Structure 1
Amino acid sequence: MGDVHGDPADGRVAGPRCIAIVGPFASGKTTLLEAILARTGAISRQGTVAGGNTVGDASPEARAHAMSVEANFADTDYLGDRYTFIDCPGSVEFLTETDGVLGGVDMAIVVAEADEKKVPALQLILKALEARRMPRVLFLNKIDKADRRVREVLEVLQPASAVPLVLRQIPIWKQGIAMGFIDLALERAFVYREHAESLVIDIPDDEQAREVEARFSMLERLADHDDVLMEALLEDMAPGRERVFADLVTEMRDGLICPVFIGSAEHGNGILRLMKALRHEGPGIASTRARLGLAEGVDAVQVIKTLHTPHGGKLSLARVLSGTVGDATMLVRADGSEAKVSGVFSLTGQQASKRAAATAGETVGLGKLEGVATGETLGVGKAPAAQLAPLAPPEPVLGLAVAAAERKDEVKLSSALTKLVEEDPSYRFTHAQETGETLLEGQGEMHLRVAQERLKGKYGLSLEVHAPAVPYRETIRAATSVRGRHKKQSGGHGQFGDAALEIRPLPRGEGFVFSDTITGGVVPKQYIPSVRDGVAEALNQGPLGFPVVDIAVTLTDGSYHSVDSSDQAFKMAAILAMREGLPQCKPVLLEPIHEVTVACPSEATPRINAIISGRRGQLLGFDGRPGWDGWDEVRALMPEADIGDLIVELRSATAGVASYTKRFDHLAELTGKAADQALARSGRQAA
């Protein structure tokens, strides 16, 4: 089994490392990846998102929208160490991509900027890291555009983090421009140079007081978890540099603090200092195995993303947690079934290239692992491994009814949708039996737009899409008695069935009840089930055009013919009786009502309440979101017809961070103009 050992000279871990780059939308994650690759020599020139020439955001959909819509991988070497960086999407609609990646990385760089509107989005990211006990550093980007002091920025960002944000660097300002920074741990100053390594200088005299104050503040935070350091500070003793770095390493790796670095990814400023901190202070695969709970002696890989490539087929991006994986290696799933590796690949952006076997710590693509899904832990060899980081995609919040524009593409569409869901499990596609529609559901408007673009661009499918039909029901409000007679003579045996029915409403939620009061054999026993079948079939579509519920039907009388009666004849008699009787029973439309729980920042709660009320929602109340400072959960009952595109309005009111869950609650009568509109939308009209 592969292992990783610390370097006795400086405590630095050896071996390949894997680091996720995460953060709110448009914070500069893709630009940071590009700057890291340029600074470490993996690429000759730093591209830009606007120019559409970055390693990250390499898919046509990402290029078209100038935003990350999937995780992008890139390898680089720095001072003899191998790194895989994974640029993760920042939009809440694509966070499942990030969740999969976090199952196998050593740590995360959280990219943020001085924008208080993005604090809730930052909190979403940090919560995901905290839940996984993920070591992390924060890179405060766009320092060249900052318009306030860094410590003021940290005060704004701190509520998003459950652990202290500990400032490692302070900027050196000149005429309002950040011209460099002071590293508080090293006690050295650096002057930025455009796309070149910063110049080391002595700390300027006019910055000495700021440096001393800021460094003491950093040490106070570290001392919260180190009694020896606390005692030294109380006695005004200067701690040794080794002690300071040891505390920074231990407390970051243990998730007790989040160190903060500053810079500008666009200009390549602060990148090499960040890389040196990752190299000397970041954890490696041994720590990751321990954090994930991988048992000693078990060799395993963690699948963190699935791709379907145009020519190479399915590719499972995986972190080798221990052992060696090569071409033809057998991997064992949790149920004991095996999957054989067909090729090992390096991935840079969208480009895969074949390589030799991978060892512990490496992140590679494994070819054609059929049936294997993102989030699975696979054993290497003969035994399955425990599932270390299973993926639990969120419930969809927006849906579309989709159909192939050309009938010949229907099978192709089903195959493409299956692959789409494999690549991003937060999509879901189902066939709605009630409406006959194929539903594609996802995490928001952009999420579904990207799906349509991918189906067209990658699979050549033209689609017809529309809003899903609402599964209305209908019921009755009055009782009636009716008789149905089916009689047909066409040479030889004829057909004869005669059934008298009583139809009455039931309380909401009672469903369908059938009974009979037949005496004297006026309807032979063998035909009574056929009458029930006929009634049930008639209830599939009532007078308003929808399934009928909450109804009781009793067979009270009838007659038969010894030769011409049959099961089919009595079934038809029941159908005829129901078709005549239901319109007499004052049919009424029923609409599905769901209990909806909206999670949103507290300052947006009044806006959320107004949105819900404007969609015929009945507010039930709100409480603080458990474990989330500054967030609320708003509960309401809402008609399914008005939930539709609710998420679009919620996200618009909350800078893109609100979400909701729903569960069916009950059916409610829909009358008047609202019922007429519902029937018109469904292509039906009132009886």
Structure 2
Amino acid sequence: MAAISANGGSPSGVRGKGPRCVAIVGPFQSGKTSLFESILERCGAVSRAGSVKTRNSVGDASAEARAHQMSTEPNVATVSFLGERFTFIDCPGSVEFLHEMRHVLTAVDAAVVVCEADDRKAPALELVLRELEEADIPRFLFLNKIDTATRRVRETLALLQRASRTPLLLRQIPIWRNGIAVGFIDLALERAFVYREHAPSEVVPLAAEEVERERDARFSMLEKLADYDDTLMEDLLGDIEPPRDLIFDDLARELRERHVVPVLIGAAERGNGVTRLLKALRHEAPGLDATRGRIGVVDSGAPLGLVMKTWHSGQGGKLSLARVLRGRLSEGDTVTSSAGIEARIGGVLELKGPEQLRQPVAEEGEVAAFSRLEGVRTGDAIAAGKVRPDAISAVVPPEPVHALAVTVKERKDDVRLAAALARLIEEDTGLSLQHLSEFSEMRLSGQGEMHLRVALERLSGRYGVAVESAATEIGYRESIRGKASARGRHRKQSGGHGQFGDVVLEIAPLPRGEGIRFVDKITGGVVPRQYISSVEAGVRDFCQRGPLGFPLVDIEVTLTDGSYHTVDSSDMAFRQAARIAMSEACPQAKPVLLEPILAVEIVIPSDAMSRASALVSARRGQILGYDARPGWRGWDQINAQVPEAEMGGLIVELRSATSGVGSFSARFDHLSELAGKPADAVVAAQAMAQAR
């Protein structure tokens, strides 16, 4: 293997990996965008790194990201470092936008996980690492904010290890002066570096007082590497200094095979540690061949890409961010998606945040935005020509945990709202839309309060559609407790043929979930056969809104008697007679309000169990059981039943009680009687709403 390069890098024999794609991920406010900016500065893509706080960053340039000072969608930039091309994709860290990175991860070669020594963020770090583990992504961990760290690195590593199922491998240790990290020692290179503000670190002699500390840390690193290399293990047991090229070879191989997660340190806002991170990526991160093998793409065949993100803009139209996994894709090429959609590439754009540089072609391994791929969606594979490619991404959209009813502020925007929401949902796979005819409600669902707030801001700012939002309607129902019988007679004479229908109905309750059952017990033809279906239709008409104002369910209605007129009887007359009979019988049968109960599974870190349980109890919930979350050390789950009316805002309080990481899934379970003042309040509100 080649020797170490003169500039202190790693072996020069690992060239030719082609353009690479790296995701920058990590918990909310860990410094991902700051690292993204520092990388752009170090690679010469910008003259000065921007800042999230001063709202002048290349990343997080959207109005929503700037307003909330948080990433709300991936930021993309392609740069060159020491002659090699990298595309960095800075992914949101908030759990409400975590779904944005899932399609990105499918096509990246490696990930940099940005984190800090903060106990409160350890569960959020575990969520991110779990996503990477399940996607089988090689990953580095960048321990950020080392300039403000108060905990020793060994303690920090123990904290971080609890969040990772893969062993963490410390590659650098800080140089402390008066309790402040002023530089680092690279354990593979055995060199000391002093930080310089927004510039590469300076190599300095290793201080005598650091020698023993460096030796101990280096031996620990080599021991961990030796777990997967018998030759290195023999050298260590024989007290032989292993060749440096063997060490770098092991570092690259064990990263590629996901045996270890290398840990580097730095301070992204100051640009500290960035050059060493870039060099580690350049020499150790796998290339496109390894990524194709991971996702099952062969290296021959028609040019192939994978769409990682979709955007719509008012002026530029639709953009599909994709990585070219095979061959090259050019402007004007016809492509077919894995969903069977044919489209023509309108343009090829290289991105640097919001900036777009037009290119004639996207080469193999590169990431580009293709314009006007109508009908092609995030997660689709696209292949040149008319042959439909196999699907690559199997990312399942996340279940919604928060919903709002949305309406336009001005009626003239009704049509525009539908189109804008369709585009918004195409951009963001974490959103979903339902049209509920029962309530005449358009329900927008997503991953949390902030997620939906940002979505509504995009509707207004990006698409010019102002909307109002409100809590969603609850699917109350009503039934009866007792039995009753009533006659319904509809008679009307207004010249010519009149109207006559006469029925006797008996009603009785049914077990929950049985719906509406109609029974015909007419004998002797007192109600002619041709009118029976009209009687049933009248019954079902009435059941759409019972005496309490809600749909009537779980009731048996029996037609027992009636009469007819040979001239004046009609379908409409018997239908109306049935409605009259029902309106007379139901108030006598002890009507009862039913509320929907949801089966809810809540997942939280174990130390938040008591707080989460209290939230369930405060919402009239019934806890059915507790258990350890399968496969998640230090996490628990609660199984409970909670009234749908009490679910509003639960995700907000749950995340507040769990440092932003708690979540739940919910499904309808059953209807339960609601009585007393809560029922009276619901019925009164319904009567008021219907009177308006």
**TM-score under structure 2 length normalisation:** 0.97
In 1, Cα distance between equivalents of 2:37 and 2:299: 37
Alignment partner, residue 136 of structure 1:
139
Q: CA contact under 8 A between 2:332 and 2:344: conserved in structure 1? A: yes
Check if 1:182 corresponds to 2:196: no
2:493 alignment partner in structure 1: 489
The answer to whether the 8 A contact 2:141-2:261 is kept is yes
Write out aligned runs for 1:295-334 (5 A).
Answer: 295-298=298-301, 299-334=303-338
Matches within 5 A, 1:475-514: 475-514=479-518
Q: Equivalent residue of 2:51, what SS?
A: coil
Given that 2:606 and 2:636 are in contact with CA atoms closer than 8 Å, whether structure 1 keeps it comes out as yes
SS in 1 for 2:326: coil
What is residue 594 of structure 1 aligned with on the other side? 598
Matched, 1:627 2:631: yes
Work out the CA distance in 1 between the residues paired with 2:46 and 2:686.
56
The one-letter amino acid of 1:627's match is G
Contact 2:292–2:299 (CA<8 Å) still a contact in 1?
no
Corresponding residue for residue 273 of structure 2: 270
Q: Structure 1 residue 672 and structure 2 residue 655: aligned?
A: no
Tell me which of 558, 575, 580 is aligned to 1:576: 580
Q: 1:281 to 1:528 in 2, by over 3 A?
A: same
1:106–1:135: 8 Å Cα contact kept in structure 2?
A: yes
Amino acid of the structure 1 residue aligned with 2:496? G
Aligned partner of 2:369: which letter?
A: G
State the partner residue of 2:379: 375
Distance 2:207 2:686 in 1: 74
**Match status 1:359 vs 2:363:** yes
- Equivalents in 2 of 1:395, 1:448: separation in Å? 14
Distance change in 2, residues 1:134/1:13 (3 Å): farther
How far apart are the structure 1 equivalents of 2:11 and 2:614? 61
1:17 to 11, 17, 20: 20
| Structure 2 counterpart of 1:120, from 117, 120, 123 | 123
Distance 2:341 2:127 in 1: 36
Q: Match for residue 642 of structure 2?
A: 638
Whole-angstrom distance in 2 between the partners of 1:404 and 1:351: 32
**Cα separation, 1, equivalents of 2:689 and 2:594:** 14
What is the rounded CA distance, in whole Å, between the counterparts of 2:299 and 2:289 in structure 1? 11
Deviation at 1:297, TM superposition (A): 2.2
Instruction: Name the CA distance, whole Å, in 2 between partners of 1:235 and 1:448.
Output: 61
Alpha-carbon distance between aligned partners in 2 of 1:685 and 1:524, rounded to the nearest angstrom: 40
Superposed, 1:446-595 pairs within 5 Å as 446-595=450-599
**Residue in structure 2 matched with residue 4 of structure 1 by the alignment:** none
CA contact (8 A) 2:542 2:583 kept: yes
Q: Return the alpha-carbon distance in structure 2 between the equivalents of residues 603 and 435 of structure 1.
A: 40
Aligned to 1:410: 414
Structure 1 residue 607 corresponds to structure 2 residue 611:
yes
1:618 aligns with 2:625: no
Contact 1:169 1:261 (C-alpha < 8 Å) held by counterparts = yes
Give the distance between the partners of 1:356 and 1:185, measured in 2 at CA.
42
- The 8 Å contact of residues 114 and 141 in structure 2, kept in 1 or not, is answered as yes
CA contact (8 A) 2:341 2:375 kept: no
Structure 1 residue 685 displacement after superposition: 9.8
What is the rounded CA distance, in whole Å, between the counterparts of 2:630 and 2:346 in structure 1? 46
Identify the match of residue 263 of structure 2 among 260, 264, 284: 260
1:182 shift after superposition: 0.7
Please state whether the residue corresponding to 2:523 is helix, strand or coil.
Answer: coil
Describe the shift of the 1:337–1:461 C-alpha distance in structure 2 as closer, same or farther (beyond 3 A). Answer: closer
Aligned to 1:217: 220
Moved more, 627-636 or 457-466: 457-466
Q: Is residue 157 of structure 2 the alignment partner of residue 166 of structure 1? A: no
Provide the C-alpha distance between the structure 1 equivalents of 2:648 and 2:537, rounded to a whole number of angstroms.
Answer: 35
Q: Is the 8 A contact 1:303 1:374 kept in 2?
A: yes
> 1:335: how far off?
4.2
C-alpha separation in 2, matches of 1:579 and 1:682: 18
Superposed, 1:425-444 pairs within 5 Å as 425-444=429-448
Q: Could you say which residue in structure 1 is the equivalent of 2:101?
A: 98
Aligned residues of 2:23 and 2:89 also touching (Cα < 8 A):
yes
Encode CA deviations 1:184-225: one digit per residue, 9 max, x unaligned.
111111111111121112211111101110000001111111
Question: In structure 2, what residue type is equivalent to 1:590?
Answer: L
Aligned residue in 1 for 2:283: 280
Instruction: State the TM-score, normalizing by the size of structure 1.
Output: 0.97
**Distance apart, 1:353 and its partner CA:** 2.9
1:580 is paired with a residue whose SS is: helix
Count of aligned pairs: 680
How far apart are the structure 1 equivalents of 2:683 and 2:148? 55
Given that 1:397 and 1:443 are in contact with CA atoms closer than 8 Å, whether structure 2 keeps it comes out as yes
Greater CA drift, 546-555 or 379-388: 379-388
Secondary structure of 1:446's aligned partner:
helix
- Comparing 496-505 with 193-202, greater Cα deviation is found at 193-202
Structure 1 residue 9, shift from structure 2 partner: 4.6
CA displacement at 1:493 relative to structure 2 = 1.2
Distance, in Å, in 2 between the alignment partners of 1:189 and 1:682 is 73
Paired letter, 2:584: E
Deviations 1:615-638 (A, max 9, x none): 111001111111111101111010
Deviation at 1:8, TM superposition (A): 9.8
Shift of 1:483: 0.8
- Deviation string 1:253-295 (CA, Å, 9 cap, x unpaired) is 1111100000111111111111011101111111111111113
Aligned equivalents of 2:355, 2:443: Cα separation in 1: 32
Structure 1 residue 492: Cα displacement: 1.3
Q: Which moved more, 1:506-515 or 1:128-137?
A: 506-515
Stretch of structure 1 that moved more, 132-141 or 226-235: 226-235
Q: 1:157 — aligned with what?
A: 160
DSSP-derived class of the 1:46 partner: coil
Separation in 2, partners of 1:678, 1:188:
72
Contact 2:11 / 2:248 at 8 angstroms: preserved in 1? no
* Distance (whole Å) between structure 2 residues aligned to residue 565 and residue 326 of structure 1: 73
> How many angstroms apart in 2 are the aligned matches of 1:411 and 1:351?
31
Indicate which of 60, 63, 66 corresponds to 1:60.
63
Question: Structure 2: how far apart are the matches of 1:448 and 1:652?
Answer: 17
Deviation digits for residues 544-585 of structure 1, max 9, x if unmatched?
111000000011111111111111111111111111211111
How far did 1:357 drift?
0.8
* Structure 1 position 679, deviation (Å): 2.6
CA contact (8 A) 1:23 1:29 kept: yes
Which of 187, 205, 216 is residue 208 of structure 2 equivalent to? 205
- Report the 3-state secondary structure (helix = DSSP H, G, I; strand = E; otherwise coil) of the residue aligned with 1:321: strand
Give the AA of the match of 2:643: P
Structure 1 residues 628 and 681 mapped into 2: Cα distance closer, same or farther (>3 Å)? farther
- 1:242 matched to 2:225: no
| 1:5-84 → structure 2 map (5 Å cutoff) | 9-84=12-87
